Structure 1
Amino acid sequence: MPVGVVLRRTPGVTQWAKYAWKAIAVLPGAAETNWQLLREQDGVSDFHAATLSLELHGSDAESYLHGLSAEVPCVYVVLRDSDATEHSLEVTLVTASPYEAQDYADTGEEIIEKVPMPDGLIAWVRDFALEHHHEERFKKRRRDKTDIGAVEDGIGDARISQLADVYRSPVKAKKERLQ
C-alpha cells in the first residue's frame, strides 16, 4: 500500500541545528510526491516528504500483531541524513513491524520515528496479520542417546598418571617449584 509520510520542520533551538524534524503522520493511499509543502505557520512547516510502499510479509505476522497490541498502534518511519536534498533528510522506509524498526535502531545510523497508525491502516494490517499468523506449537526438545561420558578428551592434566582424580593438580611439579 502506498503510504505518504508527513514531516514537521520546526526552528532549531541550538546554534548547531537550524531545524528540528519530526514525523507526525502517515497518509495511507497517498499519491507520489516529493517534499510538497502542506502547511506553514509561525515558522513551523509540514511537508508531505515522500510516498513509500508499506509492504507486509506473512513471515512477520507475529510482529505486526505485537505492534497492534500496543496502547497506540504505530507505524515506524526510518529517516536517514542526506546532503543530496535541500531538506537534509531522506525517508528510507515505512514499516508496521516493531521488530524491523528495532533492527534499524540498533545500527544507530538511521532516525526511527514512531507515528500513530490511522484507523483504516490498523484494520488493513490486522486483517493481514490474522490471516497469515500461525501459532507455533511448543515442541519439547529431547536429548539424544549419545553417551558423552565415554570419551574423556581434554579432561585433567596429562602429567597425572592415575585416573582416580583427573582434576587434581600435579604434585611433582608443585614440589619442584617450591624448592
Structure 2
Amino acid sequence: MPVGVVLRRTPGVTRWARWSWKATAVLPGASDAHWRELRREGEVTEYHAATLPLELHGAETEAYVHGLGAEVPCVYVVMRPIAGATDRPFDVLLVTASPYEAQDYCDSAEEVVEKVAMPQGLEAWVRDFVEQFHQDEVFVKRRRDKQRTDQQQDGIGDPRVQTSADVYASPALKRRRMI
C-alpha cells in the first residue's frame, strides 16, 4: 500500500539547530509527492515529503501482532539525514509496521527512526493481514539428556604422565607421600 509521509518543520530551540524536523503523520493510499508543502502556520510548515510502499510479509506477522498490541498502534518512518541540506534534510527510506525492523535501523545509528500513530484505516488493513496469515508458534521446551555427567571424573591426570598418583595434587602433599 502506498503511504505518504508528513514531516513537520518547526523553529529550533537552540542556536545550533535552526529547524527541528519530526514525522507527524502518514497518509495511506497517497499519490506520489516529493516535498510538497501541505500547510503553513507562522514558522511551522508541514510537508508531504515522500510516498513509499508499506509492504507486509507473512513471515513478519509476529512483529505486526506486537505492534498492534501497543496502546497506540504505530508505523515507523526510517529517514537518513542528508549532510549539509537545510530545506530538505532527510531522505525518507522506509515505512514499516514492524517494530522489530525499526529496532534494527535504530541499532545502526545512521538513520533516524520516527514512530507515527497508525490511522484507523491502515490499522484495520494490517489487522486483516495478520488475521489472514499469522500462525502462533508452539513453544517447545528443550529437554536435557538423561546421561549423568557428574558420575565421571574427567581430566584427572594427564595420560602422558606415567604415574598412578594424581598429577594435580599439590607439591606439598607429594613430598609427604615420598617420605
Shorter-chain TM-score: what band?
0.7 to 0.9
- The equivalent residue for 2:133 is 132
**Offset, 1:15:** 1.6
Partner letter of residue 25 of structure 1? Answer: A
Deviation, 1:90, is 1.0
Give the TM-score normalised by the residue count of structure 2: 0.83
Residue identity in the other structure for 1:96: A
CA distance in 1, matches of 2:16, 2:174: 69
Kindly state the Cα deviation for residue 16 of structure 1 after the two structures are TM-superposed.
1.2
Partner of 1:101: 102
* Percent pairwise identity: 56
Aligned equivalents of 2:150, 2:107: Cα separation in 1? 42
| Residue equivalent to 2:115 | 114
- Please provide the CA RMSD for this pair: 2.9
Distance in structure 2 (CA, Å) of the matches to 1:28 and 1:55: 12
Structure 1 residue 141: deviation in Å?
2.3
> For the residues of structure 2 that align with 1:130 and 1:156, how far apart are their CA atoms?
59
2:4 aligned partner, one-letter code = G
For residues 53-104 of structure 1, the C-alpha deviation after alignment (integer angstroms, 9 at most, x for no partner) is: 1000001101101111111110000111113854111111100011111111
Letter in 2 for 1:6: V
Aligned partner of 1:69 in structure 2 is 69
- Once the two structures are TM-superposed, the CA of residue 143 in structure 1 deviates from its matched residue by 3.4
Cα pair distance change 1:174/1:116, threshold 3 Å: farther
Q: Aligned pair in 2 of structure 1 residues 125, 160: CA closer, same or farther (>3 Å)?
A: farther
Equivalenced residues, count: 172
Distance in 1, Cα, partners of 2:163 & 2:48: 79
CA distance in 1, matches of 2:124, 2:170: 75
Could you list the runs of 5+ residues in structure 1 that have no partner in the other structure?
Answer: none
C-alpha separation in 2, matches of 1:144 and 1:36: 64
Task: Please state if 1:40 is matched with 2:74.
Answer: no
Change in Cα spacing, 1:26 to 1:172, as seen in structure 2 (3 Å) is: same
CA distance in 2, matches of 1:3, 1:39: 18
- The equivalent of 1:81 in structure 2 is 81
Distance 2:162 2:18 in 1: 73
> Secondary structure of 1:15's partner?
coil
Which amino acid in the other structure matches residue 32 of structure 2? E
User: What TM-score comes out, normalization by structure 1 length?
Assistant: 0.83
Change (3 A) 1:145 1:44: same
C-alpha separation in 1, matches of 2:122 and 2:132: 15
Letter in 1 for 2:96: T
